[in-house]
Amino acid sequence: AEYDVIILNGLVVTDTEMGDYDIAIKDEKIAKVVARGDLKDAKAKKMIDAEGGYVMPGGVDGHVHLQEPPLFGKGSSADNYETGSRSAVCGGTTCMVTFAPQKKSEDTLLDTLHATHEKAKNNCYIDYSFHLLVGNPSERALSEFKTLREEGITSLKIYMTYEALKLDDGQILDVLLEARKQKITTMVHAENGEVIDWMTKQLEKRKLFAPKYHGTSHAPIAENEATFRVIQLSEFMDSPILIVHVSTPEAAAHIKSAQDRGIPIYAETCPQYLFLTKTDLDKPGFEGAKCVCSPPPRESEADCDIIWDGLANGTFTILSSDHCPFRYNDNVNGKKTCINDEYPNGHFKYIPNGIAGIETRLSLALGANRLDLKKFVELTSANPARLYGLYPLKGAFVEGKSDADLNIWYPPNTMQEFSLMNEMLHHNVDYTPFEGRTLKQWPRYTLLRGKVVWDRENGGLLGEKGYGKFVKREASSLAKPRNHGEWEIYEDGSFGFS
């Protein structure tokens, strides 16, 4: 046969185009995207009839935590590379960028990178890369940025909070300067850790320990201040950043205002800031713990609406899951993971921060019917690929260049709606914060490099662990400094770009 797979009768949607096209796949790549009917005489080993359903590039999730040690309070990640990537593929995500976490006590980044490669190797259902999580920007670590680039790692994440990870402003400047030189994009967790610690002490004095006080302790001011501060630091260094998991209208406004001034500031938000609010933290018993993440779900649906607006108007570059999986009940002793001898009824500060969402990201966002379809593809696939140096290998249907990674969705309004239950998901977590939500879409088929890895109606998960491979990344095609020269301090006392 001429082709490996032909997909007929799809409504093909990329971030720039939408129309009735047929797609041919050969040797793991998109070979042809042609007007409907133009492949009617072509031969392929496999034909798939999309029956008018959307055919979109596979999901690219740029924010995923797997197999990490305890970094965000108690508890290690509940998902490893196998279970996390399995969950991803069953929800239509075909490429993920996870974190390789360097601890504060470690001097080097390369050991971290190599150890993370070992965790992922032969275990993934989907293609993957890593962001280096820099916990200690030592001289040695900074000198290794160049090697990271050579090894296809073109992004880092840094933190302004969490005991185990927090960098001070000087350390942030060190990272931004070196990242600029090596054309690396820096992701920033922008929350003021001291404000959070101070608020936590105030709550403890008043004996307020319920999950909803997690939201109180991570007050909006902590996020707003840190967001504004790191925008200033980034502008000073002319080093592009992406602010991750933005949750407040004020932080979004700081970002928008910097973007309007032409500063290369990018931003991410996540489904938890579109679908959850502080009411979800205030469920009976300790159930609110299931919606604890940082930043926390915010005040009201009006806040969520403003975040949706930011997706539509371009403030947000990407929509990621921030899949950060922890179990509610420990699978060894059956007890709630956030309870200990001192606080038998639980204390919000011992709830590990993070929620699972790699499998539900695409269906929740598409089914909400609030985003233009092309915008949906841009935010969940094309832009994460561009931002992290994977475009057009991922996130696109460019003939001969793009991997044949795609989702075939149900034709509009034809899927039997269902109510989400955790038992339908494929992660290793005993709950989903989105339990009970009505879903109107789910990928019907998912292909990864031309192979059907998910067929919802015939076998479900068909992919195999180990088929997913590491992808070397290029520099970002979005995030570039404004000035061309090196940042310098001159003898006359001035500083700027040579």
Residues that bind ligand URP (CB under 6 A): 65, 72, 189, 245, 293-294, 322, 324, 353-354
| Binding partner at 219 among ligand URP, Zn ion, none, C-beta below 5 to 8 Å by kind | none
What is the 8-class DSSP label of residue 256?
A: H
The one-letter amino acid at 469: K
Beta bridge partners of 132: 100, 156
Picked from ligand URP, Zn ion, none, the partner binding residue 239 (CB below 5 to 8 A depending on kind) is: none
Number of CB atoms found within 10 A of residue 300's CB: 12
- Given the complex with ligand URP, which of 116 and 407 has the nearer CB atom? 116
Find the shortest distance in angstroms from Cβ 215 to ligand URP: 12
Residue 72, binding choice from ligand URP, Zn ion, none, Cβ under 5 to 8 Å by partner class: ligand URP
CB nearer ligand URP, residue 12 or residue 293? 293
Taking the least distance from each CB to ligand URP, the nearer of 24 and 187 is: 187
Query: Would you call the peptide bond into 295 cis, given omega within 30 degrees of 0 as the criterion?
Result: yes
Q: How far apart are CA 155 and CA 305, in angstroms?
A: 30
Residues that bind Zn ion (CB under 5 A): 189, 322, 324
CB-based contact 86:125 (threshold 8 Å): yes
Closest contact distance (angstroms) between CB of 18 and ligand URP is 33
- Closest separation in Å from C-beta 385 to ligand URP: 20
- Nearest distance in Å: CB 450, ligand URP: 33
CA distances from 384 to 71, 138, 157, 267 (A): 25, 29, 15, 11
Question: Can you tell me the distance from the alpha carbon of 309 to that of 305, in angstroms, rounded to the nearest whole number?
Answer: 6
β-bridge partners, 277: 298
Pick 15 or 359: Cβ nearer ligand URP? 359
Residue 450 interacts with which of ligand URP, Zn ion, none, CB < 5 to 8 Å by class: none
Binding partner of 293, given ligand URP, Zn ion, none, CB within 5-8 angstroms per partner class: ligand URP
Q: Which residue is nearest to ligand URP (CB)?
A: 293
Nearer to ligand URP, 167 or 393 (CB): 167
**Smallest separation, CB 189 to ligand URP (Å):** 5
Among ligand URP, Zn ion, none, what binds residue 266 when CB lies within 5 to 8 Å by partner kind? none
Using the minimum distance from each CB to ligand URP, give the nearer residue, 26 or 189.
Answer: 189
> How much of the chain is in helix, strand and coil states, percent to nearest 5?
30, 20, 50
Beta carbon nearer to Zn ion, 61 or 322: 322
The per-residue DSSP string of 266-277 comes to EEEE-THHHH-B
| Residue nearer to ligand URP on the CB measure, 60 or 246 | 246
The least CB distance from residue 281 to Zn ion, in Å, is 18
- Minimum gap (Å) between residue 353 Cβ and ligand URP: 4
Q: Which does residue 476 touch among ligand URP, Zn ion, none (CB within 5 to 8 A, set by kind)? A: none
Q: Which does 3 bind (CB under 5 to 8 A by kind): Zn ion, ligand URP, none?
A: none
For the chain, give the longest Cα–Cα distance: 75
SS3 state at 234: helix
Contact 99, 155 (CB under 8 A): no
- Tokens linked to 174: 């060190």
Closest approach of ligand URP to the CB of residue 161, in Å: 8
Question: CA angle 224-133-271, nearest 5°?
Answer: 50
Length of the chain: 498
202 near 213, Cβ under 8 Å? no
Q: Cα separation of 95 and 471, whole Å?
A: 9
